[in-house]
Structure 1
């Protein structure tokens, strides 16, 4: 029987596609951020679903300008060979002012196939 309980991993042990996306997103580099996704990737953020590179690129561009905030990667876990969770603490001018978000990544090969962002 396989153990699918999340286990803590070092932040530097996250797969390259995840760190590329996170670094690019932090500095609002949409062009680099989208290269971390498969062509048919899905992102779910704030209850909305974005499918394919075009929709993901528009979501990233809008998200970069909607609010001003800082983000700090505070932890990472691995659930199985293709699933990771990166926890971020955000502070900014969005409703509520602070939030801890879990970025749930599913990889296919070396790229992100699915990303779900939720508290």
Structure 2
């Protein structure tokens, strides 16, 4: 699957539980919407993903990417009820960084 470099880097960082590399895929002013919560800015995103990594150990298996819709469907698995699950990642990219990410089930 041909993913944009930033999204490929995000998947690799997630699969290695590297919250710093994950957060560096985002702009300084990025926002993430996940499970009804909003995370603002790279530092808050880094804390959010680190907590998720520590608790759930989530890995991602990309299934389908739509360049026109900027969405990635991925099978995620880890230490959470309902694992594995297919989630959709809705991206807005700007100048090689993720400006926003919304994760839906």
Calculate the TM-score normalised by the size of structure 2: 0.90
Distance 1:73 1:40 in 2: 26
Map of 1:117 onto structure 2: 103
- Superposition RMSD on alpha carbons, in Å? 1.5
Gaps of 5+ in 2: none
Contact 2:33 2:101 (C-alpha < 8 Å) held by counterparts: yes
Q: Which has the larger radius of gyration?
A: 1
How many residue pairs were aligned? 105
Map of 2:10 onto structure 1: 21
Q: Which runs of 4+ in 1 moved over 6 A?
A: none
1:87-102 equivalent positions in 2, closer than 5 A: 87-102=73-88
Map of 1:32 onto structure 2: 21
Distance 1:31 1:69 in 2: 15
Calculate the TM-score normalised by the size of structure 1: 0.80
Contact 2:34 2:102 (C-alpha < 8 Å) held by counterparts: yes
